[in-house]
Amino acid sequence: MTRNNALIAAICYFSVFFAPLILPIAAYFITDDQETKKHAMRSLISHIITFISVVILAAGAISGTVIFNDGGFLAFFSVFGGIIFFMVISLIIAIWNVIQGIKMLTRV
């Protein structure tokens, strides 16, 4: 892997903070290097996992407020539990992406 390809792969991982889906997709289709494509796809999958956790959070919040419309403990727990779930998943994904991006930068 050349220095430029390693930099592209690192940017794909770091893009979780500024352009989560756009950069990995662009890098996947623009580059010819198979290893860079592999890293672009890995970073894209990690970004999609974060997006899916947002969908789960929204579904939990909506269903929690609709099912438990009395505003009691269960409605609060379903919304709060979804927020905690999203925060934990997002933190894990962000740390993983930073570690992978640093590995790409130190590779060359």
Q: Where are the domains of the chain?
A: 3-107
* Type of residue at 25: I
Q: Which of 24, 20, 21 is nearest to 36 (CA)?
A: 24
Handedness of CA 77, 78, 79, 80 (dihedral sign): positive
Residue with tokens 């860079």: 36
Handedness of CA 95, 96, 101, 105 (dihedral sign): positive
Read off the pLDDT of residues 1-13 as tens digits, 9 standing for 90 and up. Answer: 788 899 999 999 9
C-beta of residue 100 within 8 angstroms of C-beta of residue 39: yes
Across all residues in the chain, what is the average pLDDT?
A: 85
pLDDT of residue 108: 66
Task: Output phi, psi for 97, to 5 deg.
Answer: -65, -40
Task: Give pTM, 2 decimals.
Answer: 0.80
- For 18-41, what is the mean pLDDT? 91
Tokens of 20: 């989560």
Read off the pLDDT of residues 45-88 as tens digits, 9 standing for 90 and up. Answer: 999 988 888 888 777 777 766 666 666 677 677 777 778 888 89
